[in-house]
A = this chain, B = another copy of it.
Amino acid sequence: MSDTPDPALPERRRGSGARMVYELLRDESLDMVLPPGAPIDEIQQAERLSISRTPIREALVRLAGEGLVTMLPNRSTVVSTIDFANLNAFFDALTLMYRVTTRAAAECHTSADMDRIRARQRVFAAAVAAGDAPRMIVCNRDFHVAIAEAGRNPYYTQLFTRLLDEGRRILRLYYYPSFEARLPHPYIVEHEAIIAAVEARDLALCDRLARDHADQIVRQIQGMIAQDRRQHIDL
């Protein structure tokens, strides 16, 4: 089996166990290390992380609350599958959250928020320059989360974060094969425009830019899915 018992984790602080397991399983799910539909055995994970089943279970309950895993009663827990039937609903919600969080940021942002946003944009640009696709995905997420946090609406921020993470899974599924072909530089330009509009507190412009940005991302994902479909038909 692929049990890789990490030997270097004897020192753990009390109370950090469940959180660490949560973050680990969360990242492994989002990064497709644990592919959708894969069963998560509690005992197996407990042995892998040299920890009891209790923190494992707590992490799984949390992940189930976020919809990342599905706990089947009295049966195994599995990584949630990507529901392609509800993909339109996903795009719809994602686009809406892009818009409202950017608008809210334009309304409420402080100079400290702008500093954080610009810092994220720099990191994103660096990832683009390095051609590091997975890092680009994460940094793009962080950039927009920073904008959402500047909007100071935790309801929007939480849903938006969840949607961006869900998108991270989808991109992981499709982005790799066609990465070299696409130039991600337009995203940098769009980000800069969004930053300027937020700072100028131009709500209408923010709404339009966010909508365009979202539509472009949605179209790109849809295109990748369609291309993937064609490839499968060709086989």
Q: Mark A residues whose CB is within 8 Å of B.
A: 14-15, 54, 57-58, 61-62, 65-66, 73-74, 86, 89-90, 92-93, 96, 100, 104, 152-156, 159, 162-163
A155 near B58: Cβ-Cβ < 8 Å:
no
* B residues less than 8 Å from A74 (CB atoms): 14-15
A152 near B62: Cβ-Cβ < 8 Å:
no
A interface secondary structure, majority? helix
A86 near B154: Cβ-Cβ < 8 Å:
yes
**A64 nearest CB across to chain B (Å):** 8
What would be 25 A-B contacts, judged by CB atoms less than 8 Å apart? Answer: A14-B74, A15-B73, A15-B74, A54-B54, A57-B58, A58-B58, A61-B62, A61-B65, A62-B62, A62-B65, A65-B66, A86-B152, A86-B153, A89-B152, A89-B154, A90-B155, A92-B104, A92-B153, A93-B153, A93-B155, A93-B156, A96-B100, A155-B159, A155-B163, A159-B159
Enumerate the 5 nearest inter-chain pairs by beta-carbon distance, A residue then B residue, closest first.
A65-B65, A89-B153, A93-B155, A15-B73, A61-B61
* B residues less than 8 Å from A62 (CB atoms): 61-62, 65
How distant is the Cα of A14 from the Cα of B73 in the complex, in angstroms? 9
How distant is the Cα of A100 from the Cα of B93 in the complex, in angstroms? 9
* B residues less than 8 Å from A104 (CB atoms): 92
Residue in chain B with minimal CB distance to A90: B155
**A146 nearest CB across to chain B (Å):** 17
* B residues less than 8 Å from A100 (CB atoms): 96
**A218 nearest CB across to chain B (Å):** 14
**A83 nearest CB across to chain B (Å):** 8
Known: A14-B74, A65-B66. 4 other contacts (CB 8 A): A15-B73, A89-B154, A92-B104, A155-B159
* B residues less than 8 Å from A162 (CB atoms): 155
How distant is the Cα of A154 from the Cα of B15 in the complex, in angstroms? 33
Residue in chain B with minimal CB distance to A85: B152
